[in-house]
Amino acid sequence: MKSIETKFRYALTGFLLFLSVFAIAQSKELPRVIILATGGTIAGAGVSAERAGYTAGKIPIEDLIGTIPAVKKIANITGEQVASVGSQDMTIEIWKKLAIRINEIFAKNEADAIVITHGTDTQEETAYFLDLVVPSERPVVLTGSMRPSTAISADGPKNLYDAITVAVNPNTKGRGVLVSFNEGIYDAREVMKMSTTKTNAFGSPNTGPVGQAYDGRVEYYLRSEREINPKKPVVITADTKFPRVDIVYMYADAPADQIDMLIGKKVDGIVIAGVGNGNFNKAYMEAVKRAVKAGIIVCRASRAPSGRVVLHDEINDDELGTIVSDDLTPQKARILLMLGLTKTKDKKQLQELFFKY
Ligand code: GLU
């Protein structure tokens, strides 16, 4: 006859076996999220908690995931380090790498959603670029932080946790690339860094956020109409070559030397961050004519943070040979023009892209 102790041991082993099988079954059912890490403050380490100075992109992705153990209950997380840069050093090569890897992950069904950790300085540009080249309906959510991981009240862990809750939420599907930051959810096309230092760094001046992440929950208020069109303008491959498009800022009494320098460099496109409704002075006007004559596509955008640049309004674009950015910021107009120019130099077709995407 077995002793009570042995019976108890058997029962306990059985129970533990059941628990682990249950845990494995449960974890199998959790959505699979791959975190693609690129660096930024969220992975930044400073010399001390009370000082703002730090080096971006120092903390590896595994350590970042380790700061939010609660996430294991909502997703099966794996991480990949794609780059380790402050996002002021973001490059078109890293964008390409990200786009190709994301499309591969979804094509091979390696994950249900992707979260990208990224510095905040150019996060809006990466988000919009990816929005234009990732055709999948599956969620892609960017996030970052304003305070390094070593700071008092570091915002990285909360932002990362929220971004994962957004990524695994069933209502996130089909919304294109999003930015999740400080409990706000922003459309890639609309989002903009609004503050250099505050933790509430992002906003969408034209539309507001599309939703909110709070208490581990996600609530959407609106959907970008342009996201309903899932057809992306460009397919990125390792061989894709991007034309050169530069941005020139307009200000009172600005000389047009920079435009002439770019004509000399034989760039493919110039976006003018104009004043007001995409306006510029007489010196710029003459230089723009020279650029157009040289075969450069010139797009009128605005340095104003909201509103649109209207075709044939104060400036007759047909006569001048320019196109307009609609309501894209100059930095995003540059991305769309760059992508558009990989397919066509036709102004009409390029202009259409600005009204569609
Ligand atoms: N300038 C760095 C970057 O964009 C740090 C800023 C940040 O991540 O908040 O990566």
Q: Are residues 64 and 206 in the same domain?
A: yes
Q: What are phi and psi of 273, to 5 degrees?
A: -80, 85
Query: What are the Cα distances from residue 308, in Å, to 275, 301, 302, 314, 326?
Result: 12, 8, 8, 13, 5
Q: What is the pLDDT of residue 265?
A: 98
Q: Ligand 1 mean position to 142 CA, how many Å?
A: 13
pLDDT-based confidence at 227, cuts 50/70/90? low
- What is the CB < 6 Å shell around ligand 1? 40-41, 56, 86-88, 119-121, 144, 146
Annotated active-site residue 41? The verdict is yes
Look up the CATH number of the domain holding residue 308: 3.40.50.40
Q: What is the pLDDT of residue 52?
A: 60
- Asked if residue 231 belongs to a domain, the reply is no
- Asked if residue 238 belongs to a domain, the reply is no
Of 55, 64, 88, 198, the residue with max ligand 1 atoms within 8 A of its CB, to mutate for a pocket test, comes to: 88
Q: Are residues 193 and 264 in the same domain?
A: no
- Asked if residue 7 belongs to a domain, the reply is no
The model's pLDDT over 143-177, given as tens digits with 9 standing for 90+, comes to 999 998 888 999 999 999 999 999 999 999 999 99
pLDDT at 1 over 50: no
- Asked if residue 32 belongs to a domain, the reply is yes
Q: What is the pLDDT of residue 21?
A: 47
Q: What is the pLDDT of residue 49?
A: 72
Question: Quick one: which H or E segment has residue 114?
Answer: strand 113-117
Look up the CATH number of the domain holding residue 196: 3.40.50.1170
Of 64, 117, 121, the residue with max ligand 1 atoms within 8 A of its CB, to mutate for a pocket test, comes to: 121
Q: What is the number of domains present in the chain? A: 2
C-alpha 31: how far from chain center: 22
Q: End of a domain among 168, 187, 220?
A: 220
The model's pLDDT over 38-90, given as tens digits with 9 standing for 90+, comes to 998 888 777 677 666 667 667 888 888 999 999 999 999 999 999 999 999 99
- The owner of tokens 């390409």 is 96
Q: Ligand 1 mean position to 125 CA, how many Å?
A: 13
Q: What is the pLDDT of residue 22?
A: 47
Of these residues, 38, 41, 126, 207, which one is catalytic?
A: 41
What 3-state class would DSSP assign to 195?
Answer: coil
Q: What is the pLDDT of residue 7?
A: 57
The model's pLDDT over 341-357, given as tens digits with 9 standing for 90+, comes to 999 999 999 999 999 99
pLDDT at 241 over 90: yes
Q: What are phi and psi of 182, to 5 degrees?
A: 50, 45
Q: What is the pLDDT of residue 53?
A: 66
Q: End of a domain among 220, 253, 282?
A: 220
Torsion angle defined by CA atoms of residues 120, 275, 248 and 180, in that order, rounded to the nearest 10 degrees = 20
In this structure, of 38-52, 216-230, 290-304, the range with the lowest mean pLDDT score is: 38-52
How many Å apart are CA 195 and CA 146, to the nearest integer? Answer: 10
Q: Are residues 215 and 249 in the same domain?
A: no
- Asked if residue 4 belongs to a domain, the reply is no
Higher per-residue confidence, 18 vs 116: 116
Q: Are residues 111 and 183 in the same domain?
A: yes
Higher per-residue confidence, 235 vs 141: 141
Domain residue limits at 65: 26-220
- Asked if residue 228 belongs to a domain, the reply is no
Query: What are residue 212's DSSP bridge partners?
Result: 184, 219
pLDDT-based confidence at 11, cuts 50/70/90? low
Q: Are residues 181 and 275 in the same domain?
A: no
Q: Are residues 298 and 339 in the same domain?
A: yes
- Asked if residue 2 belongs to a domain, the reply is no
Q: Are residues 32 and 181 in the same domain?
A: yes
Among the atoms of ligand 1, which is closest to the Cα of residue 123? 4
How many Å apart are CA 121 and CA 118, to the nearest integer? Answer: 9
Q: What are phi and psi of 168, to 5 degrees?
A: -90, -5
- Asked if residue 75 belongs to a domain, the reply is yes
Q: What is the pLDDT of residue 272?
A: 98
Q: What is the pLDDT of residue 58?
A: 74
Q: What is the mean pLDDT of the chain?
A: 91
Q: Are residues 260 and 319 in the same domain?
A: yes
Q: Are residues 195 and 269 in the same domain?
A: no
pLDDT at 123 over 90: yes
Average of per-residue pLDDT across 179-194: 98
C-alpha 147: how far from chain center: 19
- Tell me how long the chain is: 357
Q: Ligand 1 mean position to 83 CA, how many Å?
A: 13
Q: Are residues 265 and 204 in the same domain?
A: no
Q: Are residues 172 and 40 in the same domain?
A: yes
Q: What is the pLDDT of residue 14?
A: 55
Q: Ligand 1 mean position to 181 CA, how many Å?
A: 13
Q: Are residues 313 and 275 in the same domain?
A: yes
pLDDT at 12 over 80: no
